[in-house]
Amino acid sequence: MTILAGVFRHDRQPVDEGWRRSLVGALSRDPRDVPQVIDRPGLLMAKVDVGVLGAPAFIDDGNAAIGAGEPLLGGSSAASTRQQDLKTLLRAHVAGEGVEAFLQARGTYAAAFYDLAGHRLCLANDRLGVRTLYYARLGDCVVFATARRILDALPFVPKRVDNAALHEWVTAEYCFENRTPYEGVFMLRGGERLLADADGARLTVDWDWASVPDDRPVTPEAVEELYQLFVEAVDLRLKGDTAARALLSGGLDSRMIVTELRRRGLEVRTLTLTWPRSLDAVLAEQYAAAIGTRHFMADVPRPLEYDISHYTEKFLRAEADYREVPGARPGLVWAGDGGSVCLGFVNTTPPLVEALRAGRYDEAARIHVERKFLRLRAKLLRREERERFAGYFETRIADILRSYGGRDPGRALQWFMMTTQERYQVSGLYENIDLRRIEYVMPLFDAWLAAAFQRFPLDECVGHKLYDRWMDRFPAVVRSVPWQAYAGHIASPLPLPDADIQWKPLSAEYHAQQRRTALARYHAVRKAGTERPPFVRPEMELAAYWFTRLGHSKLAYLLDAAAAYRAWWSGRSDL
């Protein structure tokens, strides 16, 4: 569990003392944390590590390195520690032989490496960019951090809002490609490294998901290889534990992980975070009984007021029998993130593939925008802003899809989602890891496993087709209980019990929770003294507030958007 940040000066001049105090002070909001700091002429790096993943990923012996998460180099179950992995990557950077070493990393991680003799900095993260690393180039400096709130807190980092990226964030809850709502503040893409020295900074691409060959036939041997890669992915992350905590839903991704843990004889305690009467609750409880885990259930609101890691941490803190598990490392929870997109191709539908293969990128973008409800909050915006960004999402996504360079144009949407959306599934955890103090163990984000699934023809993968073949390699118990499936994907052959599916029509309680969440967020930003952006219509913001407060749900989404616009415009993205 780690947070890191730093400043690199191209000219080797000392880092300003005020900058140093601001950066080190912003690392953690938990008074228990004592930052580790590396000072060199022209370099400041600092991190907080509370030890959930073992020895701190911290090297300070002339050359220097700090890391977050686990690189997990190689495929052996007898893998080295993350400290040893960090040393291996540091040696590769110093020797100028970085590409091959970095491609051996299978885990989710972010790290900074420094070569003292050459005054060279390298910033790197995993191939999917799950462990986000933000950076900004400020004149003679590069500033970086694993949490956006750290850059927010640094007075020397300008907070100039990029309106287009801000509209992306407010609408989709993520920014496309490598942008953030602030001009000049970017995210390192997965498989990309930033290299800085006395002459400046440049980006280098070690891994491009578009270049993965997709001509491997689906044979029994190939499916067996996929299963063995998954076994290795679990081995690499297990580290000799004899017990585990895991999230368990009514879908397949978490089920596969729990099944593999139980196949090894581990005691597993499972947790379902859901709302009452949900199909998730019923199916998870049935599968926990079938696979033999000690199962827990926690009610969460629908829609969620916070990201799922907030509720995981809350239950972990409240329930001793889930928290105190002999044989399991404290603070670690296994989770199924990454499976639906990376392995199940969930966003790639036949009409979309047909449009992409025919070169109808505008049509493909419209299909995706409609499926994901990516609509500009036009009613909230002044006329000039509405006109400026009319049709923005269709045009922007069409341009991104058009830039895909792989062999099969039909894969463009899969590529876009893997390189853009996937990193945001757990971004809330890493943004607030100093407060939540947990780590998710996510073997379905294993870089080698994800790459292996991309090597097969698209038509063999969409709709969970290849995933279904992969399931056959698991113990028969995985098919003994029905599961929830996405529309158009391979469904469970077993009948579903009578319960609420997650895609059911929205209930009155859903709308009531939506109003409560929108009002709470809006009150928080107003209490913080945030300003209204000049492009937001004050009369519509006021109408959204009063409609929502008086019990009408129709404008709650606009009130939520108004709160987000205010928070970003005032440089307070932690709200």
Local structure of 88: helix, strand or coil: helix
Contact between 269 and 321 (Cβ < 8 Å): yes
Question: pTM of this prediction?
Answer: 0.95
Scan for tokens 């700090």, then name that residue. Answer: 66
Determine the distance from the C-alpha atom of residue 379 to the mean position of all C-alpha atoms in its chain, rounded to a whole number.
Answer: 30
Question: Does 240 or 196 have the greater pLDDT score?
Answer: 196
Residue 558 near residue 380, CB atoms below 8 Å = yes
Nearest residue to 462 (alpha-carbon basis) of 363, 559, 349: 349
Consecutive H or E run containing 134: strand 134-138
Three-class SS of 36-59? EEEEECCEEEEEEECCCCCCCCEE
Q: How far apart are the C-alpha atoms of 280 and 500, rounded to whole Å?
A: 8
Task: Tell me the average pLDDT across 316-328.
Answer: 97
Q: What is the DSSP letter of 340?
A: I
**pLDDT range class, residue 10, cuts 50, 70, 90:** very high
Task: Let me know: does 521 contact 560? Beta carbons within 8 Å.
Answer: yes
Q: Comparing 52-61, 166-175, 189-198, which segment has the lowest mean pLDDT?
A: 52-61
For residues 307 and 313, what is the distance between their CA atoms, to the nearest angstrom? Answer: 11
Integer Rg of the chain from CA: 23
> Six-digit token pair at 313?
């941490």
Token readout for 434 is 């100093």
Triad 441, 445, 448: Cα angle to 5°: 120
For 162-175, write each residue's pLDDT tens digit: 999 999 999 998 99
Question: Which pLDDT does position 451 carry in this prediction?
Answer: 97
Measured CA to CA, the distance from residue 453 to residue 256 in angstroms comes to 16
Query: Out of 43-57, 75-89, 217-231, 367-381, which region has the weakest mean confidence (pLDDT)?
Result: 75-89
Residue 27 CA to residue 5 CA, distance in Å, equals: 7
pLDDT level of residue 386 (50, 70, 90 thresholds): very high
Residue 575 has pLDDT above 60, yes or no: no
pLDDT grade for 79, boundaries at 50, 70 and 90? low
79 Cβ neighbours under 8 A, 6+ residues apart: 72, 73, 85, 235, 236
CA–CA dist 24, 16 (Å, integer): 12
Where does residue 96 fall: left (phi above 0), alpha (psi -120 to 50 degrees), or beta otherwise?
left
* Span 127-140, average pLDDT: 95
- Within 8 A by CB and 6+ apart from 95, the residues are none
Query: 484 vs 248, 340, 491, 498, 552, CA distance in Å?
Result: 12, 12, 7, 12, 32
- pLDDT tens by residue, 491-542: 999 999 988 776 565 678 888 999 999 999 999 999 999 999 999 999 999 9
Q: Which of 39-48, 270-279, 349-358 has the lowest mean pLDDT?
A: 270-279
CA nearest 260: which of 476, 480, 475, 484?
Answer: 475
CA 65 to CA 345: how far, in whole Å? 36
- Residue by residue, DSSP assigns 384-417 as HHHHHTTTHHHHHHHHHHHT--SS-GGGHHHHHH
What confidence score (pLDDT) does residue 76 get?
52
Distance, CA of 467 to CA of 264 (rounded, Å)? 22
- Residue ranges in 115-181 assigned as alpha helix (H): 148-153, 163-172
pLDDT above 90 (res 276) = no
φ/ψ (deg, to 5) at 288: -60, -40
* Tokens (6 digits) for 87: 């040393």
Closest CA to 336 of 536, 475, 483, 462: 483
Which are the contacts of 17, defined by CB distance < 8 A and separation ≥ 6?
A: none
**309: helix, strand or coil:** helix
